[in-house]
Structure 1
């Protein structure tokens, strides 16, 4: 147990007491933090163990407590079937600081994913459309999940799966050819594409009897109850692209190139890198082959000319996987892409990070893959997240109700620069600009990651650019504050006196730092970066309380407290790296 942290030592000792009747991997995940701090620092719910031995949870907890002798690690108590551990403060201090300083950038990392490969499909914006604030949630969430998995030893592969085909492309090309302005395209192509797309939608609505947004299907597989000439023309363009019509292929490729140039600027600003950027169109033919195969196998049927997969045995609605005119759709391409990905990567997990509204869709896609006989279908997961709305309602590109992501990121940096100038006017201009970028972008990222993925977010400037309290800038300021101490006084050797660190404020902070490896494991297990964001905020709150109450430089405990400050910086840096947020040394 030499290289273990205190929490792992306690768990290991507890497993020894339980014995070999229950596998360690069945018990280890049960350990948790007590809801009430006065109960202890670590807790083992004994309900699962009680079922094995056919005893009450309380009697199991009491029996384990009677056999606990490692008081140098923790004392124990039993409350309602929970075996609670209260850390020995001296052991906590020495074990935690030793582990942090020895492991440094690897503190909190694990090898739980060693030998396993995980694919993460995230971002996935539509070609020809601007990135708006609604797109950032998948981008930031997916990137953080990748960081966490990599930190836990997985071999990761991030995919940006672009919507480079579909009815929206047909609508856009029709709009360009009908109302487009070449000068505006040269000046600001994505903005003009957006305006043209909105115009198409308005013209479409003038000629429809259906007026509710929910009844219109723009890119998916539901057959419209009415198909007006405007939309028929757009569908014909899509069909011609799939049949390699040279005129439309040239236009389509130009739209893709202009879009990718625009997207890359935003990815660079966000510090996001993908292992693969690919378009849905690359998998159309593969998906069509699978659709025809499903028809031959009797798993699918034809309905009004379209191929429809029967999913009744999975208690799911049937799914159209090929249009009546033979052209592909999202489901066609996604099936083709998923099968190709497994053939290429032999992944252990494939994770899709998309909106909650696609939950049923992915249940259908995974069920189709399983029904076709691919036994790896159970390795595919959908991580859904709630909507990011505007105060006036749902974001809609068709109706022009969006806030451009580029506008948000630039505005965030401008506001952050004003604050940096006010707080630190003596900083050189280039450093001010760099700090403002880290603070502004960090504020947006933290806003996204600090909220549970399943919850909806209503975007407001006030929420996005809040630079106080539970926010990215608050974390960054706490880190810069700690670094200012370390700049004033260097640490010559990592030696401390345990007795110097026994005051309440210090022990509380060290407990926080000791919890980081467990927090990472929890984030990895649940594929949820929010627990990292919550950990960082709580730890910074306790650090700032320590900072206010415990003098560092010039105190009798200076040497020991400097080492604690250094340990705090290491842990916060590791945690914020997982969130993809940069930390300025000065602020």
Structure 2
């Protein structure tokens, strides 16, 4: 389909240059807020008034006359038609463009002709034909996959699809922390709990995956609390952390044919072989359970990753990278640790190798950047995390810029807001945490309850699948309707409402349109046949079809601005207009076959656009509710 914003910009610039012999590019093209002002509007006359000695209204009038004589046209079935039926002027100097009925019909034909509206856009953007990496979700084995991970996953998957729509090759990666103090806290708590509960590893193996993960989550909460509150426990956990690096390295040697770069065993003064063996067993089991558990959630959320990276695999690389750059002056020794003096650059000073000679999160993230690029050479890389570590990433990226400026330029950190419930911010350290699957399952149960009340008839398997999809839509849409940096208070009841700006409302509108099409059957006339017929099209219908024709524009904008809420807002507008129209106008029972065919084609286009838009947001669609 023709991309009107670009065509308009070219035509307006050309006409202004013809009139005044001045090239002008710094003007906007927008959709007016009121239908009386047309479908597109430009402020070029007001911008141009600063360059020529005429008022904005005088310039606008001249432009309108010239634009009418040099219309933007489109070809269809070997005939040429005008895109706009009118070009008008409004104070204080806007030039407004109104779609022709022929263009409305053309939009229907192109939307219906597209298989699913999801072919990569032909409009060139900064991401077109580039390799773009998105790192997102990043849950930690041995800890619960919480609602914060749901937020990162929802944003990362939506951005991945939006950038793919622009013709980029997108690489999805997931970085998971399988070594570090959180693992030490978890395994320390696990050993304590197993001792108190008189449970062996064999006893835990027979539990369901959900039960095993719940046990691990509580073990982490115990370890984190005792680490903070008890000095002896804290010392034990710090010592345990050294063992974890040894057993993780051993696993990499055995499973991944890893060649060690650091002798972690030398960090332990008196090795307790029995403890080492116990940690080895618990570490392998807990890591395996966690990864299996995460995969069940990725499948439910509709996410698939191209590569997985683990802290155990980047720790040694990051450690060596820091060591190699002490001599360059990028890193400095301080109180037995190695630090990056961020205060030189208006940032925090942070430790990259601690006093126990182990790499910190900072060193690992530094090493990760190089490893990701080695495996998947990219043009752009985005790392999506909560914005509470924005300052942390500024330090890591600054250090990276001094080591490898080009890689740093390719890398962007996107910090999203926090997801909260009515009880406030969650904390996995206290155990007051909402697990991702727990939230999904609770919302699903609420959906099943609504289905029962409304007496909607499904097959048993279909009902379960539909409830899963609505639950995912409820949560994901609540996240994606907001600016990425905004905090979100998730209200399960409001998020399931079938009115208002919710995921289920979008799904319900699609199901309503699909039901109309199913009941009506085949259209009497095709869109091609309608082109040669004269019949009345209501203003509401023109408004709906015009909005449907803007799908590509909003999808591109959402990707280019890294703002999924731009697309979700557009889909909500489509639903509002269609539902308002549906409540007032007969579609399938219309007597005039031309009008009925037009309305059914329009309804079909609504389902296509909603399905395509929700796909780009990473949200499943349903045809029955």
Please indicate, yes or no, whether the TM-score normalized by the shorter chain is above 0.5.
yes
CA distance in 2, matches of 1:326, 1:22: 65
The residue aligned with 1:10 is 8
Matched-pair contact (CA < 8 Å) for 2:32–2:41: yes
Aligned to 1:95: 106
Match of 2:217 in 1: 194
Q: How far apart, in 2, do the equivalents of 1:368 and 1:61 lie? A: 52
Partner SS for 1:584: coil
Alignment-derived partner of residue 238 in structure 1: 241
- Structure number, greater radius of gyration: 2
Structure 2 spans left out of the alignment, 5+ residues? 72-81, 250-264, 266-275
Aligned with residue 494 of structure 1, among 524, 527, 530: 527
Name 2:544's counterpart in structure 1.
509
Counterpart residue number, 1:561: 599
Other structure's SS at 1:158 match: strand
Are the equivalent residues in 2 in contact too, given 1:119–1:159 (CA < 8 A)? yes
Bigger Cα displacement from structure 2, 268-277 vs 123-132: 268-277
Specify which of 401, 404, 426 is matched with residue 432 of structure 2.
Answer: 401
Residues 117-137 of structure 1, C-alpha deviation per residue, up to 9 Å, x if partnerless?
A: 110010001111111222211
Q: CA deviation at 1:372?
A: 1.5
Q: Spell out, residue by residue over 1:287-337, the C-alpha distance to the aligned partner (whole angstroms, 9 max, x if none).
A: 112101221101221111111123345322223221122111111111111
2:154 is matched with 140
Q: Which stretch shows the higher mean deviation, 288-297 or 486-495?
A: 486-495
Q: Does the alignment pair 1:538 with 2:573?
A: yes
The alpha-carbon deviation at position 461 of structure 1 amounts to: 3.0
CA distance in 2, matches of 1:204, 1:280: 21
CA contact (8 A) 2:118 2:165 kept: no
Cα shift at 1:564? 0.9
Match of 1:583 in 2: 621
Shift of residue 397, structure 1, vs aligned partner: 0.6
Deviation at 1:51, TM superposition (A): 10
1:320 pairs with one of 351, 357, 360: 351
CA 1:342–1:308 in 2, change beyond 3 Å: closer, same or farther?
same
Alpha-carbon distance in 2 for matches of 1:12, 1:102: 27
**Partner residue of 1:309?**
340
Identify the match of residue 172 of structure 1 among 186, 189, 193.
186
1:33: Cα distance to partner?
2.6
Pick one of 316, 323, 332 that aligns with 1:285: 316
Report if aligned partners of 1:34, 1:43 keep a CA contact under 8 Å in 2: yes
Q: How far is 1:559 from its partner? A: 1.1
In structure 1, the residue matched to 2:255 is none
Deviation at 1:500, TM superposition (A): 3.9
Task: Note closer, same or farther for the CA distance 1:240–1:49 as it changes in structure 2 (3 Å cut).
Answer: farther
Deviations 1:434-492 (A, max 9, x none): 22222222112111112222221123332444343221111111111111122121136
Once residues 586 and 216 of structure 2 are traced to their aligned partners in structure 1, the CA distance between those partners, rounded to angstroms, is 58
CA distance in 1, matches of 2:334, 2:45: 52
Q: Which runs of 5+ in 1 are unaligned?
A: 208-227
Q: Could you tell me how far 1:27 is from its partner in structure 2?
A: 5.7
Preserved CA contact (<8 Å) 2:49 2:59 = no
Q: Distance in 2 between matches of 1:313 and 1:45?
A: 45
Report deviation, 1:19.
5.2
In structure 2, C-alpha distance between the alignment counterparts of 1:267 and 1:373, rounded to whole Å: 33
Residues 373, 40 of structure 1: CA spacing in aligned structure 2 closer, same or farther, 3 A cutoff? same
Cα RMSD over matched residues? 2.8
- How far off is 1:260 after superposition? 0.7
Deviation at 1:283? 0.6
Distance 1:56 1:486, change over 3 A: same
Cα deviation 1:9-40 (Å, max 9, x = unaligned): 4334224335599999x669x43333555444
Q: Does 1:548 align with 2:586?
A: no
Aligned position for 1:348:
379
Contact 2:339 2:351 in 1 (8 A): yes
Q: Cα distance 1:417–1:365, how it changes in 2: closer, same or farther (>3 A)?
A: same
Shift, 1:551, TM fit: 1.4
Distance 1:8 1:500, change over 3 A: farther
Check conservation: 1:446, 1:471, Cα contact below 8 A: yes
> CA–CA distance in 2 between the matches of 1:57 and 1:455?
41
- Structure 2: how far apart are the matches of 1:435 and 1:384? 32
